[in-house]
Structure 1
Amino acid sequence: MIAPHLIRRQRLIIFILCALIIATFIIGLGMGASSVSFDRIIPTILGNGTFKEEFVLFSIRLPRILITVLAGMALALSGSILQSITRNDLADPGIIGINAGAGVGVAIFFLFFPVDVGSFIYVLPAVAFLGALLTAILIYAFSYSKKEGLQPVRLVLVGIGFSMALSGVMIVLISSAERSKVDFIAKWLAGNIWGNDWAFVWAILPWLVILIPFTLFKANKLNLLNLSEPVAIGVGVSLEKERIVLLLTAVALAASAVSVTGGIAFIGLLSPHIAKALVGPRNQLFIPVAILTGGWLLLLADTIGRNIINFSSIPAGIIVSLIGAPYFIYLLFKK
């Protein structure tokens, strides 16, 4: 049973995070290369804006902001699942190579297969999922021992090795590609939010609508998987079955986000840690907080990156890395 004061704390933190997301959302709508004054945002949303204001808000800013929030939520949930099933606080889809696997899948599809503009947006998450899934299977296989089961430390080390190897594969692919396609892949690697159309919102939204409730339904199983293997088996958990199902869930979430935002790391690392520090390690409590934290962090990073330089923008992935890399080093020393 969860203590009532923890539930009250969770609700308060969720309210604060929703307020932060809304505030950053409004700031992001108003700021940019073509700024819209804040007193014109609500009238424009209600249909009383000029053509320019409506075009900037509805065709450029609003879809990009929604995509950023949804992708941040997906990455945060993916990281939360990975940390629970591996019992390793350093697990993150970007760090352990899942994002890199999705990226290689996207690059191969984009560079060597005929691209149909109409279906490209919807096929891309599936391609990213296949690349991420193959990578996750290999990482899991190399990290698993028949005697000791899944070894969390080995999983992180193997994942980092795969991430580096796949980065080399990406460089080889780029070296033989056309210049226009190389530019796209380079932006993808930097973690640029390149999906900025309503179609990308509809491409990523179904994954979250299905997988967030599914993960919350499995929250108690995640609590048990976070314990030692003998304890989990002793209470009747089908260990390998649950791990595989939840690993597939984490891969699907990471792939759906990566397919529209590019290679963004550390959101899946930071968000669960912040959530656990605020409400404790119970998955029922921290997963909703982690989801909102991830959405807000990525939205904040993208808003800063778009506006920090007048005539250019810094990819959100770089802004997140400036925050996440020192924290990752801190965790390495701590653990």
Structure 2
Amino acid sequence: MRVSPSPTKAAAVALALGMVVTGCAAGAGETRSGLTLGYFPNITHAPALVGVENGIYDEALGDTGFSTQTFNAGPDVINALFSGDVDAAFVGPNPTINGWAQSGGQALRIVAGSTSGGAGLVVRPGIDDVDDLRGTTLASPQLGNTQDVALRWFVRGQGWEADTAGGGDISIIPQENPEAVSSFGAGEIDGAWLPEPHLSRLRVEYGAELLVDEADMWPQTEGRFVTTNLIVSARFLEEQPEAVRALLEAHVASVDWINDNPERARETATRHLAELTGSELNPEVAEAALDNLTFTADPVAASLRSGAEHAEAVGLLEPVDLNGIYALDPLNDVLAEAGHGPVAGLEGQGSA
């Protein structure tokens, strides 16, 4: 969750933000018509996979116009939001916080939750308890990313040290998720703190054991923690609130359909993934991964703030004020119409 970009990146962010503020991102001060939604070809973005595949967003947005763009990394999503290439996106808590901090709270708002859970520490057979971890080599997806922070917070909680150079009582090596899977299979690492479906891949395909379920680290939220948010451009929210409401109607409908039709949802999500990536996810992995995830419009706001505090504690985030990051009033209107209860932001207020 690092929020101290290099001078070059800071300049790029400032330029992009300037374009958003002045209206140049859409071209010559014009507002681009329609809504463009960004998402990942990843099972943790199942509400997007299902909603796009089933035409739920197309139907809800109607004459507004709807298009999509897929990404493989959170920072790319945030840059696209800054530049106006996308208006809304499914993205994890780490890039969300980074975008909020880099823009001084100007560029984005979290308008809904999407996914909770589905992360933890998987290890090779023979590591039977936490004490066996001392001296091991573990992977995390990226220095300062959501799972890396969780791993370092866990290590800190054991009274151990792990520096950013791979030294300490436990060696933490940043590796992209597919690389970590390959490294584990080759015996080059002892385990990894991973999100789904990579966590289930190691368990199903390589016999890894789940040593730490991250849900157990969140007693204050009854095991729930944010994995994916739905964010929108602050400018788009201000200028096209009805389009955002239609997006939220589609999002809630997609989440409800997944929860009401788990088997069909798995088939739909994996079919759309195959269309996007050209390869099919192992059905056993897909089933295990989806069983380990909770799809909900609740952003589990308390876990976002705690995650930021954890990142600060392990030295990977400068202090950041998150008040105002949520704009949940439109979502709560949609939830009420759909027969659901309201969700809360950081201070217990819909738009806190």
Considering the TM-score relative to the shorter chain, is it more than 0.5? no
The structure in which a higher percent of residues are helix is 1
Q: Which has the higher contact order (CA 8 A, sep 6+)?
A: 1
The structure in which a higher percent of residues are strand is 2
* TM-score for both structures, normalised by structure 2: 0.22
* TM-score for both structures, normalised by structure 1: 0.23
